[in-house]
Chain A
């Protein structure tokens, strides 16, 4: 009798779990893909043209849509990719944001990080991740962040947690991956290279923020 009672409780709990999983509303897309084109061709003193070489910023096969541009500001050059990922509640999707920077032929991928006041320093600077990709004698600096709505995530685990929270409570599973690459000089010039990225990033964030907040 006692074992029967315990078995009953166990089966009820399992059934409740199955019902919760089955009754959950479907995940929907909240970001209009067109909003990515809000990133203008002119960002301050930077002027852009369409296109980014694949060997600079590889395209992830899972992105739904992306805006890829090459910007120039005097002698400075920067490549920008803003990609929209949807349906990230799918098991198979979770492991797929893996093409952030070029890895093929890279002898060394050196992590660096820097702080940038993306939103005009109202809430303090945000620490963003970046890597210096060493390939033969060339060096490429790639900085990136994940964005859900107006929220920016430089840490991969925090981004995953925020995405999980969004998927569970808001049933939305969209996120943007913003990448900025620029040719990097020798190790002594890292601060200058990061300053180039830090100068461009707030313009991109501002353009995306206006659209995704609507």
Chain B
């Protein structure tokens, strides 16, 4: 016990000897310069976050990223700042993407280069050990980047058809007579449209970000973290299908007045909360099976 504590102290002392405050200052100056260079790009994203409700989670992503960085502050403080030349090509690649994306009017390319520029800077100035602890918070910033509209609209329409088909099938199982015509659900007393707003695709980035943040909050094995992050999107889709079924059932049994209910009107919030519940359940199941296997 004492030997372990002594060993830990020696490692910490060595790290602190290697890492001078000047190195951290240099890293801070470079990161600030990068953010200054990217100020117009960030401003463009912020404008979209505030304009489109499905992108409003973008405001939270830098804060969560900063929290994840803060969460690793001890590991970062103990990592020796020794720079790696591998960061230089990343910085050059990121700057190339920034120039092409900005001058070419393709903001997605310019925006994607921001996390790359930060990672390259950390790697070039801080080195591999610092980058090893900082890459997750930096990569997390990808969730704040809105998907290109062309991709988003194509995915959204496919999702509408998929959601309508599953909802119609489920309603049939539940004894509700329904005729599906594309995204239209014809019930005996009302016709419902699975509109673009009803699709969960626009919220997928938010759900992935939610899964990613949730997975990073507690110490867990990597495979559970990956599973939780990746399962957020399908769980979100599942939550949305359940919401559509509940809305359709209410409309069938109660009439059009049911469309004014909370579940239908606050569809984003409903899906978000249901996804959180499903993530907690999945986490509990995975953790239990991991502990059982370990013991």
Q: Which residues of A contact B (CB under 8 A)?
A: 2-4, 6-7, 9-11, 13-14, 16-18, 20-21, 24, 27, 88-95, 98, 106-109, 134, 156-157, 160, 163-165, 167-168, 173
Contact = CB atoms under 8 A, between A and B. Distances in A.
Given A13-B91, A14-B34, A163-B105, A20 B99 contact: yes
Interface of B: 22-23, 26, 29-30, 33-34, 36-37, 44, 47, 81, 83, 88, 91-92, 95, 98-100, 102-107, 121, 124-125, 148-150, 153, 157, 161, 181-184
A89 B181 contact: no
B105 A14 contact: no
Contacts of B153: 98
A14 B178 CA distance: 60
Nearest to B100: A168
A164 B37 CA distance: 21
A89 B91 contact: no
A92 B108 CA distance: 12
Contacts of B37: 14, 17-18
Contact of A94 (B34, B88, B105, B181): B105
Contact of A93 (B26, B34, B105, B124): B105
Interface on chain B toward A: helix, strand, loop, or mixed SS?
helix
A65 to B, nearest CB: 20
A94 B103 contact: no
A156 B23 contact: no
B88 A2 contact: no
Interface on chain A toward B: helix, strand, loop, or mixed SS?
helix
A6 B107 CA distance: 29
Interface centre among B33, B37, B106, B124 (most CB of A within 10 A): B106
Given A20-B99, A95-B149, A107 B183 contact: yes
A167 B104 contact: yes
A164 B105 contact: yes
Given A91-B105, A109-B157, A160-B106, 7 more contacts: A3-B23, A3-B125, A10-B30, A94-B149, A95-B149, A163-B105, A173-B105
Contact of A89 (B44, B47, B105): B105
Contacts of A93: 105
Contacts of B182: 106-109, 134
Contact of B30 (A11, A21, A89, A157): A11
A165 B34 CA distance: 26
A7 B295 CA distance: 49
Nearest to A1: B22
A157 B22 CA distance: 46
Contact of B181 (A90, A134, A163): A134
Contacts of B148: 94-95
Given A10-B121, A173-B105, A3 B22 contact: yes
A27 B29 CA distance: 33
A10 B107 contact: no
Contact of B95 (A3, A11, A13, A167): A13
Contacts of A4: 26
A3 B91 contact: no
A134 B181 CA distance: 9
Nearest to B84: A6
A4 B125 CA distance: 9
Nearest to B108: A94
A4 B182 CA distance: 62
A94 B107 contact: yes
A91 B148 CA distance: 11
B33 A10 contact: yes
A13 B150 CA distance: 32
A24 B103 contact: yes
B55 to A, nearest CB: 11
Contacts of B36: 14
Contacts of A16: 95
B149 A7 contact: no
B29 A7 contact: yes
25 contacts: A9-B88, A10-B33, A10-B125, A11-B29, A11-B33, A13-B91, A14-B36, A16-B95, A17-B37, A17-B98, A20-B99, A20-B103, A21-B98, A24-B103, A89-B105, A94-B107, A107-B184, A160-B106, A160-B150, A163-B104, A163-B105, A164-B100, A164-B105, A165-B104, A168-B104
Contacts of B104: 89, 163-165, 167-168
B106 A21 contact: no
